Amino acid sequence: MPSNPVPDAVVDVIEPATEAVMARVPAADVEATRAAVARAKAALPAWRAVAPRDRALLLARIGAGVEAELEALARLEARNAGKPIGDARGEIALVADTFRYFAAAPERLIGQTIPVAGGVNMTFREPLGVVGLITPWNFPLAIASWKIAPALAAGNTVVLKPAALTPLTAIELERIAREAGLPEDVFTVLVGSGRVVGEALVADPDVAKIAFTGSTAVGRRIGALAAESITRVTLELGGKSANVIFADADLEAAAAAAPGAVFGNAGQDCCARARILVQRSAVDRFLELFVAHTKALRVGDPLDEATQMGPLISADQLSEVRSFLDEVPIAAQGRTPDGPGYWFPPTVLAPVTPDARAARDEIFGPIACVIPFEGEAEAIAMANDTIYGLSGSIWTRDGARALRMARAIESGTLSINSNTSVRVTTPFGGFKQSGIGRELGPDALNHYTELKNVFMAT
């Protein structure tokens, strides 16, 4: 338990584009967290007893409920997280898809029979129990749904602690789930700080598993706390991904796609391709194209349909991001609006050496480092010279080279001639200090179930 938890009674939720308070939400404390876990535990037997088909129908109804309110949820997310409305719509659509995808799961929790002597041997996928979810502010509802949907599909009950900066869409989802018919206490949202509510959740002996997305530093602390009670953990943590661009690539396409991959969500993206490694002979041409695209980015009001990049999430994040401009030459910067809001322009740093702080640390802001390399071997060494391994891209017209690179880069998700990272149907997660476990895709359910082996003598 935290040593001296002094919770705020109310969380002020700030709109980062205006710095105004947009909502005030009651905050949970340690007692409220324990009580929510106790209720989730009490709800387990009845939830496990719900027929797989009925659990499937419920999840599908939650997805449909999200879809029915897509526009309102997207506007709420856009305002609260400061993200462009078009991006927010895409994220809420992803939430609906995630519930639909995992709605197929309750009826496919299939075990095996294994040939043994003297009887029949069967395996079962059993739910874990109460699952605690702790999520970040950058893709608030999307990342929460990647955990809630498989956890519920497998027959667990869920207590979610969203980031205190962005709790509003999670609160709406709790209502939508209830209206869809989800029994009481099967899914609870607790708003509060990480030190108080988050740690109380991790330390609660009735929580069977913690699924966490956030920074590597907090992931390390959660892993250590969870080890005390051998609580299962999956950790989706930070990144410093490489976008490797060879001289034989379609440079126009690579340069047009690169801003979205590093300035998307104002750079507050664990998959941000923030290290742009460019083969030396193509650096000048790439920079010329990339800078032009960067300067053309429209930064402004998240609710304006034309906006491509919004503000940073908070004043703290803004001063953290600013601190990275100290040592490295700025090649180009975009423009930001005047007036209130946590604005930081899309910024290109070049030339950058691989040992600069901006090239090594996760900035979590709209700063791209352009770093030259000579050949394939150096590109692999540079791409892997990081504690992280979440995502990355390879741009080349040489297919064999693309596959050699994809196999050699130590990263959970790679794309070739593309910068995409996330699909509901494919696994997502990190190598090295980017995390433990995978979300989405066919393997996600394994992280929300225990494998049971039963032998019956015949």
Question: Active-site residue numbers?
Answer: 236, 270
**Torsion of the alpha carbons at 77, 81, 85 and 88, rounded to the nearest 10:** -60
Nearest residue (CB) to ligand NAD, 258 versus 270? 270
How distant, in Å, are the alpha carbons of 10, 197, 398, 424 from that of 216? Answer: 27, 19, 35, 23
| Residue 237 per-residue DSSP state | -
Report in angstroms how near the CB of residue 99 gets to ligand NAD at its nearest. 18
Report how far Cα 139 is from the mean position of its chain's Cα atoms: 6
Report in angstroms how near the CB of residue 194 gets to ligand NAD at its nearest. 2
Cα–Cα distance between 105 and 442 in angstroms, integer? 9
Nearest residue (CB) to ligand NAD, 145 versus 193? 193
| Residue 435 per-residue DSSP state | E
Provide the residue type at 339 as one letter: G
Report in angstroms how near the CB of residue 21 gets to ligand NAD at its nearest. 19
- In 3D space, the residue among 364, 411, 349, 367 whose CA is nearest the CA of residue 385 turns out to be 411
Strand residues in 293-334 grouped as ranges (E): 330-333
Q: Which residues bind ligand NAD (CB under 6 A)?
A: 134-138, 143, 161, 163-164, 193-195, 198-199, 202, 213-215, 218, 221-222, 236-239, 270, 362, 364, 390, 430, 434-435
Beta-carbon contacts of residue 116 (< 8 Å; ≥ 6 apart): 455
Report in angstroms how near the CB of residue 378 gets to ligand NAD at its nearest. 26
Report in angstroms how near the CB of residue 134 gets to ligand NAD at its nearest. 5
Give yes or no for a contact between 384 and 410, defined as CB atoms under 8 angstroms apart. Answer: yes
Report in angstroms how near the CB of residue 450 gets to ligand NAD at its nearest. 23
| Residue 305 per-residue DSSP state | T
Q: Long-range contacts for 442-446 (Cβ within 8 Å, ≥24 apart)?
A: 444/102, 444/146, 444/150, 445/102, 445/105, 445/109, 445/125, 445/150, 445/153, 445/154, 446/125
Report in angstroms how near the CB of residue 114 gets to ligand NAD at its nearest. 34
Cα–Cα distance between 388 and 391 in angstroms, integer? 9
Nearest residue (CB) to ligand NAD, 222 versus 379? 222
Nearest residue (CB) to ligand NAD, 287 versus 369? 369
Edge-to-edge strands, sheet with 242-245: 330-333, 347-349, 367-373, 275-279, 242-245, 392-395, 415-416
Report in angstroms how near the CB of residue 64 gets to ligand NAD at its nearest. 26
Measured at CB, which residue is nearest to ligand NAD? 194
Nearest residue (CB) to ligand NAD, 213 versus 411? 213
Nearest residue (CB) to ligand NAD, 201 versus 255? 201
Nearest residue (CB) to ligand NAD, 246 versus 448? 448
Radius of gyration (C-alpha) of the chain in whole angstroms: 23
Nearest residue (CB) to ligand NAD, 265 versus 279? 265
Sign of CA dihedral 179, 180, 185, 187: negative
Give yes or no for a contact between 136 and 163, defined as CB atoms under 8 angstroms apart. Answer: yes
Report how far Cα 242 is from the mean position of its chain's Cα atoms: 18
